[in-house]
Structure 1
């Protein structure tokens, strides 16, 4: 059976794979699948600042590099993520600032389109993808995608993100959107941190 194209689907699930609390986990940091559960790709944490998304076939889809001004105090300063394809060509960025960095991510696609991934409120489990208003920089009214987060394992605090995309996003913009959801998880649940979420 042919595997569905990751960036042609209207929705995908990005989540932490299940694991045992009693054994050291050595699998991928995140798994990407269809809503029905068919595996599509995996995110590997290379060194807590570089992450690799590969299809189940082993093909590299993109790399994410996390940069912050002062690594030991990164919770206070802005954080920027750079996305590169398998040939190391930059294909987009995401950035967050402020004390609650998971409130809004500013995205730039490969074609230069400016998008925002915005959380509705501090208690909300939903983020909305919109274009950035060219004059004010605020989210435009039209919703281009949604991310809904849930805890799939309360014991370990494992997170799952359902990523829904509208037809107004092309394949490269969908790629940036999925990459930004990986970044959102890295902001909310930094590697090596406890189970608290933001």
Structure 2
């Protein structure tokens, strides 16, 4: 099973670990930790189309397989699909459509490229005047010289562990869309 509480926590941080400016970094691409900074899991990219979220002890949580330019499928340890996420439209980081293991449809949206906060809802904020907010994802730069990013993921207590797994995996995919592996380009 996963580290105690990883998928039960209402808030986690998905971020790029700090690294030396003078040496080649060889650690995980992203680390999932508590808000206080205790590492819970890590993300590695075995190749450019597949990412793995595993506990700090190495136990597999979910694989994220890219099967289109902006579409991802989440795979459990037995190889079953346990969710998907994708970015419709031309600007790929304004909106992600999520589908959980049980088929629940969620949206992760932000109003413009200038906003650092995405909202997690079941209905489209553009079509519903006041959608129920089920969570927030806030991005910030933790090292402007290297351009390291972190995402604070806050979810509603009503989301279950499998739905939180989908949200965390989707944030990893959002980071992938904003900063592909091996590139240090400015994020969208």
Q: TM-score, normalised by structure 2?
A: 0.93
Shift of 1:132: 3.3
Shift of 1:193: 2.0
Residue equivalent to 2:30: 30
The gaps in structure 1 that reach 5 residues or longer are 69-73
**1:147 and 2:134 aligned:** no
Q: Could you tell me whether the CA contact under 8 Å between 1:120 and 1:128 is conserved in 2?
A: no
- Distance in structure 1 (CA, Å) of the matches to 2:90 and 2:27: 31
Residue equivalent to 1:182: 172
Aligned residues: 185
Residue equivalent to 1:82: 73
**1:128 and 2:131 aligned:** no
Q: TM-score, normalised by structure 1?
A: 0.88
Shift of 1:58: 1.4
Return the match for 2:107 from 88, 105, 116: 116
- Distance in structure 1 (CA, Å) of the matches to 2:95 and 2:141: 20
Residue equivalent to 1:50: 50
Cα deviation digits, residues 73-116 of structure 1 (max 9, x gap):
x4xxxx11000111111100000132310000000000000000
Runs of 4+ in 1 over 3 A off after TM superposition: 136-140
Shift of 1:137: 9.4
Cα deviation digits, residues 107-135 of structure 1 (max 9, x gap):
000000000000122200000000136xx
- Distance in structure 1 (CA, Å) of the matches to 2:184 and 2:147: 9
- Distance in structure 2 (CA, Å) of the matches to 1:187 and 1:65: 13
- Distance in structure 2 (CA, Å) of the matches to 1:182 and 1:138: 27
Q: What is the Cα-based RMSD across aligned positions, in Å?
A: 1.7
The gaps in structure 2 that reach 5 residues or longer are none
